[in-house]
Amino acid sequence: MAIEITPERETEVVSPPFPTVNMGGKRVMLTMPWQKHTTPQTAFSVMGLFDRRRCGRLLNFGDAFVAHTRNTCADLFLASDLEWMLTIDDDMIVPFGDARWFNAHTGFALPPEYAGLNALDRLLSHNKTLVGGLYFGRHKKGKAMFCEGANNPQEAAYARKAPHNVIKPTRWVATGCLLVHRSVYTDIEAKFPRLARRVDGKGGQWFSTSEHSVMEGIEDLRRLLSDGMHTAEKSYQAQAMVENLAANARRNSTLSMGEDVQFCTRAKEAGHQPYVDMGLLCGHVGTCVYGPHNTEP
């Protein structure tokens, strides 16, 4: 697939625009981290994506702690031999190849080439280890669910004019329709051993909010202060370490971060750039199906 770089918007133009991927075997875990109930439209769109010749399937339900259920799904995915995990939340409506159905049940009125995308094929075609679809918060003032779209007025306006046939690098993209390569999880474990699975292959904490970096820094600080005499130079060094730890925690692992932001932040630190697909518009189900046409800044 040819990629054209567009420097002024830091986007990658997808070419050819609407590829079909020949999977050639079972490589993807279609994952549903659902709580209890979902809408028929969500279930039907996920059914449209599932092809048992190329997909495994994973349903984890009944856990109200969203970070825990995402971690459990990742544990189970890594226990398989599959390469990719496509996770779809219980309040999403995703394109699966039927443009008329998608437009009818979302109210989006997208051009058929976008409404008729297959979310799995589209995300795989980018060959990125972490890429998600574009959607908006499920209320009338819902923001675009990626970092710049949620925080920058110009990017928000651009998102509301979607679909655009580009993918954009971002600090974080929400997890409602997210494709993740297994190397993202294993590289986070290598970067942050405190978050890694136990020897039984369970207990990974990729999505949990945690001050893991602070704890690692505290151990370094203990070693510094317990080695030899306390001097003025050592005190200044300890103070600098504390300030760096605090700054890093505020930037990368504050307890106020959502699990999607935390996951993408860790992925970026582990060498995996998150992307958002501005052409893959998904519906977000609340009191209606929310998208760019019925949410306002």
DSSP-based three-state secondary structure for 292: coil
Q: Which residue has the higher pLDDT, 210 or 66?
A: 66
Query: For the residues 167-193, what does the mean pLDDT come to?
Result: 97
Which pLDDT belongs to residue 209? 82
Which pLDDT belongs to residue 216? 67
- In this structure, which CATH number among 3.90.1150.10, 3.90.550.40, 3.20.20.60, 3.40.50.720 belongs to the domain 2-190+258-290? 3.90.550.40
Q: Which residue has the higher pLDDT, 103 or 215?
A: 103
Going from the C-alpha of 280 to that of each of 16, 107, 113, 162, 276, the distances in angstroms are: 15, 15, 11, 9, 9
Going from the C-alpha of 267 to that of each of 5, 14, 44, 223, 246, the distances in angstroms are: 23, 23, 31, 28, 20
Phi, psi of 181 (to 5 degrees): -80, 150
pLDDT value at 5 more than 50: no
Which pLDDT belongs to residue 64? 81
115-166 pLDDT per residue, tens: 999 999 999 999 999 999 999 999 999 999 999 999 999 999 999 999 999 9
Which tokens is 195 given?
Answer: 């978050």
Phi, psi of 146 (to 5 degrees): -150, 160
Give every strand in the sheet of 92-93, ordered side by side: 92-93, 283-285, 289-290
Closest listed residue to residue 145, CA positions, set 154, 133, 153, 157:
133
| Segments making up each domain of the chain, as ranges | 2-190+258-290, 211-252
Give every strand in the sheet of 11-15, ordered side by side: 2-6, 11-15, 166-169, 275-281, 130-134, 177-181, 84-88, 28-33, 55-60
N-term to C-term CA, the chain: 35
195-213 pLDDT per residue, tens: 999 999 999 999 998 666 6
Annotate 28-95 with DSSP letters as a single string. EEEEEE--S---HHHHHHHHHH--TTTEEEEEE-S---HHHHHHHHHHHHHHSS-SEEEEE-TTEE--
Which pLDDT belongs to residue 230? 73
* Cα three-residue angle 33-178-159, rounded to 5 degrees: 125
pLDDT-based confidence at residue 53 (cuts at 50, 70, 90): confident
29-45 pLDDT per residue, tens: 999 999 888 999 999 99
Annotate 176-237 with DSSP letters as a single string. TEEEEEHHHHHHHHHH-GGGS--TTS----SSS---HHHHHHHHHHHHHHHSS---HHHHHH
Is the N-terminal amide bond of 16 cis, ω within 30° of 0? yes
Q: Which residue has the higher pLDDT, 245 or 90?
A: 90
* CB neighbour list of residue 272: distance below 8 Å, 6 or more residues apart: 129, 130, 181, 183, 184, 187
